[in-house]
Amino acid sequence: MIASDIAPGKTLEPSLVDPFGRGVSYLRVSVTDRCDFRCVYCMSEDMTFLPKRDLLTLEELDRLCSAFVGLGVRKLRITGGEPLVRRNIMSLFEGMKRHLDSGALDELTVTTNGSQLAKYATQLAACGVRRINVSMDTLDPDKFRKITRWGDLNRVIEGIDAAQAAGLSVKINAVALKGVNEDEIIPMIEWAHGRGMDFTLIEVMPLGEIEPDRIDQFLSLSQVRASLMDRFTLTDLPDRTGGPARYVRLEETGGRLGFITPLTHNFCESCNRVRLTCTGTLYMCLGQEDAADLRAPLRASESDEPVIAAIREAITRKPKGHDFVIERARSRPAVGRHMSVTGG
Ligand code: SAM
Ligand code: SF4
């Protein structure tokens, strides 16, 4: 059976449910591990990237994503590395649009550093993308350069302008970094809310070797939340956007503020996600090493049966959760691969 064409509103197979009764309805796909930035918490400066020959083609990524949609995945996030630096990436978005059109997919979205957004915003909107996440940790151009090592804040702001002009709803994601952007959290919230954008803070996770020590970067969001209460009135919101963030409304700005707290409040009990890398490896958890190779069964046959069987088998191994810890005594990251490989 080929999953590339799925009848309107139909899934081809019973949905994916893991051993803990959690339905898997959300796939994140890292379409490249490469990036035009080198954010200090994400990558080392001299990263070694995967050999290009190991990468799935965009046609193969389409086939795999379509197999997941056929298995009941309703939300697809394209990420990386920097997804918009992969050559011809718009063809994958164009391909996925057919699943939005058929009703098989509820949402097609992207997480980007914004560097290429000015170029692609209109095309993304034309492919049915409605909401995007842009990662931005500071409003200070010099600090931005230091955090990203190579990035230009102005280009990112131009990208955000273009995205909003194209009608995309933008959420800003910022990693909370101790002593780096701590003092900017309030101005950034006010800036984002002033532009009608949601704003989400993320705790640093111990993924992959980097030069700085993550314990020096880590800022607890419980602490940030407590200090924000001196300034704002926070009202808990029931909203879940299918992702790990928990939201509050700030009465003073009227905007939404999200917290992604893998360290201080593990969100695994409601995890509905799996992650596919650009080489066709499926990770059932961001914070565990166990994985399934989908490239071999994909390439073994023109039929999707082998890959569907491999996906089903992998879901039976989805673990209960991660066990991230950041402490001096434990200097090694929880998992060896960087966030750019598994996809944020
Ligand atoms: N390049 C794109 C971007 O930066 O938005 C997409 C990929 S990036 C790996 C996805 C998200 O992961 C970004 O918001 C980034 O800030 C976050 N991230 C990367 N490494 C992280 C880490 N070690 N801990 C927490 N968040 C991290
Ligand atoms: Fe690149 Fe995103 Fe990682 Fe920054 S966080 S280095 S932009 S992949």
Secondary structure (H, E, C), the chain: CCCCCCCCCCCCCCCCECCCCCECCEEEEECCCCCCCCCCCCCCCCCCCCCHHHCCCHHHHHHHHHHHHHCCCCEEEEECCCHHHCCCCHHHHHHHHHHHHHCCCCEEEEEECCCCHHHHHHHHHHCCCCEEEEECCCCCHHHHHHHHCCCCHHHHHHHHHHHHHCCCEEEEEEECECCCCHHHHHHHHHHHHHCCCEEEEECCCCECCCCCCHHHHECCHHHHHHHHCCCCCEEECCCCCCCCCEEEEECCCCCEEEEECCCCCCCHHHCCEEEECCCCEEECCCCCCCEEECHHHHHHCCCCHHHHHHHHHHHCCCCCCCCCCCECCECCCCECCCHHHHCC
Query: Angle at CA 148, nearest 5°, toward 206 and 245?
Result: 50
Q: Is the pLDDT of residue 336 over 60?
A: yes
- Distance from the alpha carbon of residue 344 to the mean position of ligand 1, in angstroms: 5
Contact 148 CB / ligand 1 (< 6 Å): no
Q: Is residue 82 part of a domain?
A: yes
Residue 55: the pLDDT is 96
Residue 4: the pLDDT is 52
- Distance from the alpha carbon of residue 111 to the mean position of ligand 2, in angstroms: 10
**b/e per residue, 112-128, with b = 16+ CB within 10 A?**
bbbbbbbebbeebbebb
pLDDT range class, residue 12, cuts 50, 70, 90: very low
Contact 80 CB / ligand 2 (< 6 Å): yes
pLDDT range class, residue 211, cuts 50, 70, 90: confident
Among the atoms of ligand 1, which is closest to the Cα of residue 205? Answer: 24
- Distance from the alpha carbon of residue 121 to the mean position of ligand 1, in angstroms: 20
Q: Is residue 4 part of a domain?
A: no
Q: Is residue 11 part of a domain?
A: no
Sheet holding 246-250, edge to edge: 234-236, 246-250, 256-260, 198-202, 169-175, 131-135, 107-112, 75-79, 26-30, 273-276, 281-283, 291-293
State pLDDT tens for residues 41-72: 999 889 999 998 899 999 999 999 999 999 99
State pLDDT tens for residues 109-127: 999 999 999 999 999 999 9
Q: Is residue 92 part of a domain?
A: yes
More confident residue, 262 or 183: 183
Q: What is the rounded average pLDDT of the residues 271-281?
A: 95
Q: Is the pLDDT of residue 328 over 60?
A: no
More confident residue, 240 or 246: 246
The CATH number for 134's domain is 3.20.20.70
pLDDT range class, residue 276, cuts 50, 70, 90: very high
Contact 175 CB / ligand 1 (< 6 Å): yes
Q: Is residue 182 part of a domain?
A: yes
More confident residue, 211 or 199: 199
- Distance from the alpha carbon of residue 125 to the mean position of ligand 2, in angstroms: 23
Give the C-alpha separation, 114 to 82, whole Å: 9
Give the C-alpha separation, 190 to 80, whole Å: 28
Instruction: Provide the domain limits for residue 200.
Output: 19-342
pLDDT range class, residue 163, cuts 50, 70, 90: very high
Q: Is residue 283 part of a domain?
A: yes
Q: Is residue 6 part of a domain?
A: no
pLDDT range class, residue 338, cuts 50, 70, 90: confident
Amino acid at 290: D
- Distance from the alpha carbon of residue 8 to the mean position of ligand 1, in angstroms: 34
Contact 29 CB / ligand 1 (< 6 Å): no
Q: Is the pLDDT of residue 9 over 90?
A: no
Q: Is residue 14 part of a domain?
A: no
pLDDT range class, residue 304, cuts 50, 70, 90: very high
Q: Is the pLDDT of residue 298 over 80?
A: yes
As for how many domains the chain has, the answer is 1
More confident residue, 6 or 344: 344
Give the C-alpha separation, 274 to 65, whole Å: 12
- Distance from the alpha carbon of residue 203 to the mean position of ligand 2, in angstroms: 15
Contact 27 CB / ligand 2 (< 6 Å): no
Residue 340: the pLDDT is 73
Q: Give the percent of the chain with pLDDT over 70.
A: 90
The mean predicted confidence, pLDDT, of the chain is 91
Residue 331: the pLDDT is 56
Beta carbons of 248 and 193 less than 8 angstroms apart: no
Residue nearest to atom 19 of ligand 1 (CA): 42
Residue nearest to atom 11 of ligand 1 (CA): 344
Its sign, for the CA torsion 159, 160, 165, 171, is: positive
Output the pTM of the full model.
Answer: 0.92
- Ligand lying closest to the C-alpha of residue 173: 1
Give the C-alpha separation, 62 to 65, whole Å: 5
